[in-house]
Amino acid sequence: MHLDHPGHSHHGSAVGADAHRPDGTRRALRIGLGGPVGSGKTATVAALCRELRDQLSLAVVTNDIYTREDAEFLLRNAVLPPERIQAVETGACPHTAIRDDISANLEAVEDLEDAVGPLDLILVESGGDNLTATFSKGLVDAQIFVIDVAGGDDIPRKGGPGVTTADLLVINKTDLAPYVGSDLERMARDAREQRGDLPVAFTSLTGEDGVAPVAAWVREQLAAWTAAA
Amino acid sequence: MTRAALLVLADGRFPAGGHAHSGGAEPAVKAGRIRDTRDLEAFCRGRLHTSGLTSAALAAAAALGLDPAALDEAADARTPSPALRATARRLGRQMLRAARATWPGPELDALATAFPRGAHQPVVLGLAARSAGLGPRDAAHCVAYEAVSGPATAAVRLLSLDPFQATAVLARLAPDMDLVAERAAEQAARAAHAGTDALPAASAPLLDITAEQHAAWPVRLFAS
């Protein structure tokens, strides 16, 4: 039997939230992006990659529900080289893979750090799910919840774990507000009521530099993560 | 040892990646071989007595303390489908992560060092059972249950089967699970003297073939 190898007893981290890699170096900051189907999670990830890739070493994990479409969208748009994008299969339960059983996602982030590291930032995109989907703290350090104005301007008022507790709430597709009769001020007011001091970013990714408020928030998180080292 | 540790290990919510796998049920549903709970029961019974028995014996042998590296080789030899070998190692790696956090111990650490990309899942599960203070029969029971509970859960999602009926299928298979676990534990005990060649090598060729096909599907709900 292979018994005691004290020198190697820390090979591979058993605990996902550990801020250090097996070799003792600090691991990348991990930010999760969740939200309903079609709200613009993948488009936000793509825009963030374009915005940050020249200054940071980046990678992305996608959690597609039944295809590799999100991963392929990112590849097709060449936002990152293919070896920096990994897809996780979720067995019809996207929220399980990011919250209740994070083992496959942890493997993906660790494999990315091994293969193309050192990395500054890993974005973990969840499969489109409902308003209750949140990321485990064992998987990500901070999470963004993406909704859009076309999904109805009452979503912030309805709350739910994603809207209420995410570290950043992104309300996307503001350019569509006049066409779908969504009241942005009402959404901002309701979000403030649900979230207290937690930040909210309004975005329109079709516009020039549309992702800027999200990118600025990500940079703040990264600065705090680096400062804590 | 605590009896309740077996419930923790066998719980479908044990975070070791099983939820994303159908145990061959997805291709069987697509091919029309599973359409209702009767088909599901026949599918599960077949899987239990073939690959289920083989996996249960591997787990029992690992729980008994046989060399995990030799057992991993034995598992490879008993898994002709490359897709299923890859799946078994991926799930083994996920099981190892969960087990090391749940029941930390030097044997699991050594396995992680020897197999950084993952050993076959039943071998890891057997060693996890050992680390939890459970015996070979417990490990075999756990694997026998997994062999049928995985496809049953997947079939509920794939076919919108009545979940009560699907659970009743599992209950009806309980005596078969006991039988398979018992046999697996006996054969593992024999392998402790006679070597890993004495372990059962039952297989279901159709599961191997459809696993290869399923791995190539562009659109699927389950990873295997």
CATH number of A73's domain: 3.40.50.300
* Contact yes or no for A100 and B106 at CB 8 A: no
B222 vs A contacts (CB less than 8 Å):
89, 91-92
B131 burial (CB, 10 Å; 0-12 / 13-18 / 19+) is buried
> Tokens at residue A116, please?
């193309």
* Contact yes or no for B90 and A14 at CB 8 A: no
**What radius of gyration, in Å, describes the C-alpha atoms of chain B?**
16
Nearest residue in chain A measured CA to CA from B218 = A67
Of B94, B111, B222, which is closest to A103 when you measure between CB atoms?
Answer: B94
Other CB atoms within 10 Å distance of the CB of residue B3: 9
In this prediction, residue B194 carries a pLDDT of: 97
The residue-averaged pLDDT of B192-215 equals 97
* Contact yes or no for B106 and A14 at CB 8 A: no
Q: How far apart are CA B83 and CA B28, in angstroms?
A: 16
Indicate whether A150 belongs to any domain. Answer: yes
The tally of domains found in chain A comes to 1
Indicate whether A157 belongs to any domain. Answer: yes
Res. A18: pLDDT tops 90? no
Nearest residue in chain A measured CA to CA from B221 = A66
> Tokens at residue A73, please?
């969208």
Question: Which bin fits A27, alpha (ψ -120 to 50), beta or left (φ > 0)?
Answer: beta
Indicate whether A213 belongs to any domain. Answer: yes
Indicate whether A117 belongs to any domain. Answer: yes
- Give the tens place of pLDDT for each residue, B104-161: 999 999 999 999 999 999 999 999 999 999 999 999 999 999 999 999 999 999 999 9
Distance from CA of A67 to the nearest CA of B (A): 5
Other CB atoms within 10 Å distance of the CB of residue B85: 16
- Give the tens place of pLDDT for each residue, B22-55: 999 999 999 999 999 999 999 999 999 999 999 9
Res. B103: pLDDT tops 80? yes
- Give the tens place of pLDDT for each residue, A101-152: 999 999 999 999 999 999 999 999 998 877 888 999 999 999 999 999 999 8
* Contact yes or no for B221 and A15 at CB 8 A: no
Q: Which DSSP symbol is given to A10?
A: T
For chain A, how are helix, strand and coil distributed in percent, rounded to 5?
40, 20, 40
Q: How far is CA B41 from the centre of its chain?
A: 17
In this prediction, residue A71 carries a pLDDT of: 83
Q: Which residue has the higher pLDDT, A95 or A188?
A: A188
In this prediction, residue A2 carries a pLDDT of: 40
Instruction: Pick the closest to residue A161 from A173, A147, A172 (CA basis).
Output: A147
Instruction: Pick the closest to residue B5 from B107, B95, B139, B122 (CA basis).
Output: B139
* Contact yes or no for A102 and B116 at CB 8 A: no
In this prediction, residue B9 carries a pLDDT of: 97
The residue-averaged pLDDT of A71-81 equals 88
Q: What is the crossing angle of helices B163-172 and B136-159, to 10°? A: 150
Indicate whether A111 belongs to any domain. Answer: yes
Of A2, A14, A97, which is closest to B20 when you measure between CB atoms?
Answer: A97
In this prediction, residue A11 carries a pLDDT of: 42
Give the whole-number percent of chain B exceeding pLDDT 70: 100
In this prediction, residue A90 carries a pLDDT of: 86
Q: How far apart are CA A36 and CA B217, in angstroms?
A: 26
Domain span at residue A157 reads 23-227
For testing the chain A interface, which of B14, B19, B125, B222 should be mutated: the one with the most A CBs within 10 Å? B19
